[in-house]
Amino acid sequence: MASQLTEVVAVLSVFISVSSALPSIELVYHNYNDLTSALEDLNSAYPAMTHLYSIGESGEGRSLWVLAIAGDTPNEHKRLRPEVKYVGNMHGNEVVGREVLLHFAEHLLVSYSTDDDVKTFLDSTRIHIMPSLNPDGFEKGFEGNCTGLIGRYTKNRIDINRNFPDYFEPDDEEREAETLAVMDWLTQEKFVLSANLHGGALLANYPHDNMEPAKLQEYVPLDDPAPYSACPDDDILRYLALVYSHNHLTMRNYTETLCGSPNPGDGFIDGVSNGADWYIAKGTMQEYNYIQSECYEITMEIACCKYPREETLGDYWDQNKVSLFEYIRQVHRGIKGIVTHASSGDPLSGASVKVNERWTDHTTTDLGEYWYVLLPGEYDVTVSKDGYVPQTKTVTVEGGLYNTVTLNFELEFPSGVTNLVPSISLICFLFLSIRSVL
């Protein structure tokens, strides 16, 4: 881990080469109409690199805008090109992420033609940036309100970050329009890496946020309300959190993470924390991403004040611009590949990809793709699908970005079993043949 942290710290210099000039989008707060106009302007200025779309509407009917950015074909998925995302302002009164993401979007676009690192990233990745998941709440918040709750909730006074289906404590609660929009979005796109930006604290927070209720009760007699709840991929998630905190200008500083608290125990070593170890939370978005969508998501608390004065936005941009870039580039670590049928070569969707003994698995897309962000080391990777013979391969993952190992699999039917399902190519041939006759 020490060598990995050294690598994390080393990348601090990477983004410095990018122009230090402030983005042309003014560093001020943008209400819904202003935000919409700014996103439309970026889309108009960079039509070949951007795709502006909405994943739905808020409770009050405002569009939930997303700006997709890529070196080419930003409006569609390309095979084996990973999809990543940033989401801001899910608590309407936590506003710094909203503005930082807007400027990050423009920063990527402006820098594409001048910075090799940005170009390499956008030529190999599609990034989706949603500045505001709670535009209704933002309209109710007010500048200078550092600790209050006004604007936090949806139209129905629901906390979006407690409204997702929870793996540990299933419920039948009604989902908000914003929550449902995200859930549907996650079925439309196969995201590999994500982060959501919050305010009111200073740290990078990673899953799990919750744990089995029976296990949690074991801590009650010990008066320990915040037990560590490790994921099967705890090593990766903690590393990702450290990437953000160590590239942030102040987050890795324990004193800064106190956010003015006189209690020395309120800070965070290295600026990171396991979610449950901070406090137990049910129904969070990062938990849903990880468990239900196989997407690594971290919650970034990037401002001690939830709604700081407008004149401080430039400072927050400077603090976060490197970490935003370095974090999302981590998608280019580990392994990726295509799973196909050995005989026909057709892609196999829904195949399970397991690494070592981790109980989580990643499933292949309709194109047979999979991605698995991993730290350097040797891993046994097993791919399985009902009706096929499982296959295991051993792979060595090296360090460094853009060093992802391509590991493809061709699955076969058990000996003596004939494929009764025609291949896609055969179906197309038969369809065209029948059509020509008719």
Residues 6 or more apart in contact with residue 57 via CB below 8 angstroms: 63, 64, 177, 181
Strands 409-411 and 335-341: parallel
CA distance 420 to 265: 63
E strand or H helix that includes residue 137: helix 135-140
CA distance 368 to 273: 35
E strand or H helix that includes residue 156: none
Torsion angle of the four alpha carbons 212, 214, 220, 221, in this order, in degrees rounded to the nearest 10: -150
What is the Rg, in whole angstroms, of the alpha carbon atoms belonging to the chain? 22
CA distance 47 to 74: 9
CA distance 86 to 93: 18
Active-site option among 301, 310, 326, 357: 301
**Active-site residue, 357 included:** no
Nearest CA to 284 out of 372, 194, 222, 349 is that of 194
CA distance 368 to 366: 5
Query: Which active-site residues does the annotation give?
Result: 301
